[in-house]
Structure 1
Amino acid sequence: APPSRRGPLPRWRRQAGQPNRVSFGDYQRLAPSDGTVQGPHQENMPGDPARSNTRLLAFICEEPSERGGATALFDMQEAWRRLPADLQALLRGSSFEFPMIRGDWQKSPCVIENELSGTPALQFYGFGSVASECVARYREVTGRQEVVLDPFTYGVHPTRGVLLVNDTDDERVPFEGDLLRRTVAAIYESMLVHEWSRGEVLLVDNVRWAHARLEGSGLGRKLNFVIYGRA
């Protein structure tokens, strides 16, 4: 059984709006793959600006998809290196501010430095108003024009725009247009695709690596997802 930091495991519960996704506290079984793709994201974003976020993710494949069903991994240290200098300077002193469906706004820093090496890693949450640009870039990179956007927004308002907030003077600008396109382009230039095999376990550094579910088919797919620890 998957580990839990909260004692005995509770009964299975279904997540709101996600009929094929159930959770056991920190443990989730991801939905069967379909024709949709997610935007790149790190877990526990958006959230605390200090970002004492989840550090390690474990993906455990019980059964792969009949076709596709891969997971994209994005090296966000490499994505940061690929950003133009002017965009690095802007993002280094800024936070993303996400409009949530429940009506509030949540901030997360745009970049985090590794606590040991000092290497910066871009942070991103590819849902809500930024998701369409992510899917458009994925289609361009892969040539898979048939894929469509994941209908779930994971708490982010689907149409209200994400803002870029200057951490010094609190000035806000929309995170859209050229800012969004250049950021997403650097992220997708840093993409790796992981195809699953039965019994495989993949441990992922949630600060350095973003991830996204990719398209596929076959109801037999069982990919478990466990969250460990904080940074």
Structure 2
Amino acid sequence: MGETTTIHQVAVVEDDDVLRARLVQAVDAHPALDVVADFAGVRTCLDWLSEHSPDVLLVDLNLPDGQGTEVIAQAARRRIESVVITVFADERSVTAAIKSGATGYLLKDSDTEHVAESVLLAVEGQSPINPAIARHLLKHFAGTPAALQTDVDPGPLTEREQAVLTLIARGFSYGETADQLHMSINTVRTHVRHIYRKLEAGSRGEAVYIASNKGWIDP
């Protein structure tokens, strides 16, 4: 018998009816993804989230009744992954979404197949980020990997965990983090699990937010 494919539940938050339908169709077409709900605004999604826990949210930022960051923050508290899909690529929007708990950031010019694959990457613990967005992150979190050893109080984190989380905060993938720190990707994943446990965080975005606010990393 063949292996059973795990189906991950996805909710879509997008106010443009045509685009929302296209995103729902694209994500639903992926064999490992199932859209279980879609919303045109913040309030209806927040109400739904109070009783449901999908694996991933695909969220627009500029919605008619609020900001997508409200949804992202609620999802982070529920340990639900969020991938932003928006037309905004300015530094303020990018950093606000990441600090709210987003673990991926795509632009609306992304092809639909790429969107579905990015949602799946988020479920698998990676951070799908549009290259243009990565540039904004690098600009905001200015610094070089060589400068990771700082005098910042790491709090409950070890020196290596602090270095791993700092790179993740700067938008590096697990693979890139492993290369920069000369360790295996499995070691990076182990450090991330320890970080989540120590910070009582449910996502990379939440861990970065907690550690940044506490001054335990200097992104």
TM-score (norm 1): 0.29
Q: So what's the TM-score if we normalise by structure 2?
A: 0.30
Q: Which has the higher strand share?
A: 1
Which structure shows the higher helix fraction? 2
